[in-house]
Chain A
Amino acid sequence: DIQLTQSPSTLSASVGDRVTITCRASQTISNFLAWYQHKPGQAPKLLICKASTLESGVPSRFSGSGSGTDFSLTISSLQPDDFATYYCQQYYTSSPYTFGQGTKLEIK
């Protein structure tokens, strides 16, 4: 299985901050990586696919980059609604698809 390692596991930040979450794959996955946002009591939400393609309706303060084994999700100016847990997911191989362990973004 392809392993994804996210860092940091927890990130404390303030409204207006610029934050970056990284995701490292155990082998090259080209740009076949998605990012999700998850809030307690809600369904996860797809933010980005193909490492950098923003889903329709996702605010432009979110951006993704990377290819090969190293990827990042950046929020340019944190808003109150952005405090959540973020997961990367690889789809280079479908058996199985795998998620990173998650990064909890909390209010400082």
Chain B
Amino acid sequence: EVQLEQSAAEVGKPGESLKISCKGSGYDFSNYWIGWVRLMPGRGLEWMGMIYPRDSDTRYSPSFQGHVTISVDKSINTAFLQWSSLRASDTAIYFCARHDTAAGSVLPDFYYGMDVWGQGTTVTVSS
């Protein structure tokens, strides 16, 4: 079964660092982009960025660039989302999702949507 398993809920304080994970199984992890999506109450889904495990090519949304880091360890089929300095406004649910593409291409003709999702990781930032 193709699935993405995310790490457990986290609680942190403003200014602290945090890293959450997303482990893929049941498919060739290296050859599919993994994206991260934020869900905040009242704001809907927001695409944060994605990484291609085969070569670690990473793309960020300008809204999140510089505040989060997306990384991957393909030896353990796991992608990561990390913050070096949490803010209260980072309180949200974070989903990872597999971008279904042909041969890893990001060209729209070869893109078929985010077809497999993790269960979500709740991050709460509070002093």
Residue positions of A touching B, CB distance < 8 A: 1, 30, 32, 34, 36, 38, 43-46, 49-50, 55, 85, 87, 89, 91-102
Q: Which of A30, A97, A102 has the most CB of B within 10 A?
A: A97
CB–CB A97/B45 < 8 A: no
Main secondary structure of the interface of B (DSSP, over half): strand
- Taking a contact as CB atoms closer than 8 A, the residue among B61, B112, B117, B120 that contacts A49 in the complex is B112
Q: How many A-B residue pairs have CB under 8 A?
A: 73
A85→B39 CA distance, assembly (Å): 12
CB–CB A97/B117 < 8 A: no
A71: min CB distance to chain B, Å = 14
CB–CB A100/B44 < 8 A: yes
Complex interface bits, B86-108 against A, C-beta within 8 A gives 1, otherwise 0: 00000000010100000000101
